Amino acid sequence: MSDLHTISSLREGDRIVFRLVFDEYHARVYAYIYRKTLSSYLAEEAMQITFVKLWNYRRSLRPELSLFTQIFRIASTTMIDLLRSEEKDRVGLQSIKKQTELRLDPLQSMEENLLKKKVNTLIRQMPTMQKRVFEMSRFENKSYREIALALSISIKTVETHISRALKFLRQNLTLFSVVFLCCLITMGSARAQDPDLFNRLQGNSQKGVDFWNVDGIQITIQTFKQSFSEKAIIKEFGRYGIQEKDLTEKDDSLRFANRFVIKTEDIDSTFRQYTAYYFIENQQQTLTTITFVSVNKTAQAFERSFVSLVHEQALPRDNFPPFKIDSLNFAGRKFEVGNSCRWMGVNDVQCPGNGQMNWSIHADSADAQVVCDAQFAVNKKLKGVRLLSAEQLPISFEGHAVTVRKAIFDFKGVNGLLVRANGGKTLTVYYVAAPVRGHFVSCTLSYWDIDSLTPDGLPMLLEQVMTLHPPAPTVR
């Protein structure tokens, strides 16, 4: 459909065309605002208001201008208005909404209650299985994989039920409600459920590969020169066990060509590792892969939001740290570490002779503890590595008294990169889950037996964030 026809249909109030326009542009508008503000909160709000304005002022659309230009003009002015409002009053989303002159949020006060009642009435009219699947997805925040497992159905069946439920709602809701429903279904996933999630996201880049980490989820992004195809996917990822039979699933919620694969591996009887592969066609029509690795959880809503940002090239790369560092920003606190330290991965710093630490930032303590315990389980399974001792002990971590696991591993039977070239044979590791400045961190801190220790018994790097509690005096 040409821009001229689209604009004409919008001006006449064609709701189907409006939905098609929303589907095509909403992720791009979100990505544009996010690039400008680095705020998922503002990007979400500006995106929704942009499309409400587009509908309300549809008769003012100009046929001689491209639709792209007009939508992004609305998005730009909306962003500026929100930023000005936020500058005047920083108490949160409700203040920004109240200061928005047009007051176009479709879920304000009475309208919100009416819409909720209407949606609930329609949901009750759905077939039993469709209703249950939809409620688990939209109200219980379950991923498609979790729903399929709980109901003993396939992921494809889950997708079919969701698709039919959404179609039923769209057919029975007003246009204003449809605008909100579009925002809720497509963008109201990880960002709406957890506005702080992207603030916890950390990343770096090495040799053309981007690495990210949030809540213990390890993310890898790599782009290849080959055109997007199953043949290219198998060529690059066949060594990781990806076969032609794995490439039958695609995520229909993503508005670009993709294939989706999930692999699981039991670390032990307690911990299971999930690896989700998203193979997508990027804007240059070549292959980009996004891999998510997590333990004991899946995060499909977040994965989809993240993959969409990758496709729109909206992830903030300008804050990637340099490879060599002399200072470290640890979860909001900066301290000096000398000029010999280097990044080994995302939030993974090694200071030769002075220790190593890697960490993730989490929303809750339970998630942080799971990641710590899983890392200990992984380390115990390393080939040729023997656990010499493990104990729980009290320490002070970033000013908080916590109990952590301390383990000592024997690496004498290991050859290659795992062993220090200068003769280290045993590795001492602390597994810490602790509150830090409004978040929680899972942190693994380690040093070799030949590293330099301070009089307090820790290498320089570890001493920056933790102190050992002296043993209690013996009572005689």
386 and 238 share one domain: no
Q: Within this chain, do residues 92 and 172 fall inside the same structural domain, yes or no?
A: yes
Banded model confidence at residue 92, pLDDT cuts 50, 70, 90: very low
Higher-confidence residue of 187 and 468: namely: 468
- The answer to whether residue 146 scores a pLDDT higher than 80 is no
**Domain identity same for 434 and 307:** no
Q: Same structural domain for residues 32 and 179?
A: yes
* Structural domain contains residue 318: no
| 475 within a domain of the structure (yes/no) | no
C-alpha 99 chain-centroid distance: 30
Range name among 77-81, 288-292, 296-300, 406-410 with the lowest pLDDT average: 296-300
Instruction: Out of 311, 332, 349, pick the residue that ends a domain.
Output: 311
Q: What is the pLDDT of residues 279-330, one digit of tens each?
A: 999 888 899 999 999 998 877 778 888 898 888 777 766 557 766 688 888 8
- Higher confidence at residue 282 or residue 92? 282
HSE-CB of 261 using CA atoms within 13 angstroms? 22
Same domain, 205 and 347: no
Average pLDDT over residues 25-52: 81
pLDDT of residue 394: 95
Shared domain check, 444 and 342? yes
Residues 187 and 228 in one domain: no
pLDDT above 80 for 246: yes
Measured from the Cβ of residue 342, the count of other Cβ atoms closer than 10 Å reads 14
- Determine how many CB atoms are found less than 10 A away from the CB of residue 133: 27
Query: Is pLDDT above 60 for 476?
Result: no
206 part of a folded domain? yes
Q: When comparing pLDDT for 69 and 137, which is higher? A: 69
Same domain for 428 and 454?
yes
- Residue 44 vs residue 380, higher pLDDT: 380
Higher-pLDDT residue of 70 and 103 is: 70
Last residue of a domain, one of 286, 311, 336: 311
Residue 92 maps to a domain: yes
The secondary structure of 346-414 as a DSSP string is: TTEEE-TTS-EEEEEEESSHHHHHHHHHHHHHHHHTSTT-EEEEEEEEEEEETTEEEEEEEEEEE-TT-
- Which domain CATH number covers 453? 3.40.1000
Q: Are 328 and 400 contained in the same domain?
A: yes
Within a domain: 316? no
pLDDT of residue 227: 94
Please check whether residue 202 lies inside any domain of the structure. Answer: yes
Residue 10 within any structural domain of the chain:
yes
Note whether 67 and 186 are same-domain residues.
yes
Quick one: 48 and 184 in the same domain?
A: yes
| DSSP 8-state assignment for residue 228 | S
Supply the mean pLDDT for the chain: 80
> Quick count: other Cβ atoms within 10 Å of Cβ 112?
13
Phi and psi at 194, nearest 5°, equal -145, 80
pLDDT of residue 41: 63
Alpha-carbon span 40 to 27, nearest angstrom: 12
Domain assignment of residue 319, yes or no: no
Give CA–CA dist 125/110, Å, rounded.
23
pLDDT given for residue 84 in this prediction: 72
% of the chain exceeding 90 in pLDDT: 30
Domain count across the chain: 3
Domain extent for 223: 197-311
437 C-beta neighbours (distance < 10 Å), count: 13
Residues 141 and 206 in one domain: no
Name the domain boundary from 311, 343, 373: 311
With cut-offs at 50, 70 and 90, classify the pLDDT of residue 207.
confident
Express each pLDDT in 443-459 by its tens digit: 999 999 999 999 999 99
pLDDT band for position 117 (cuts 50, 70, 90): confident
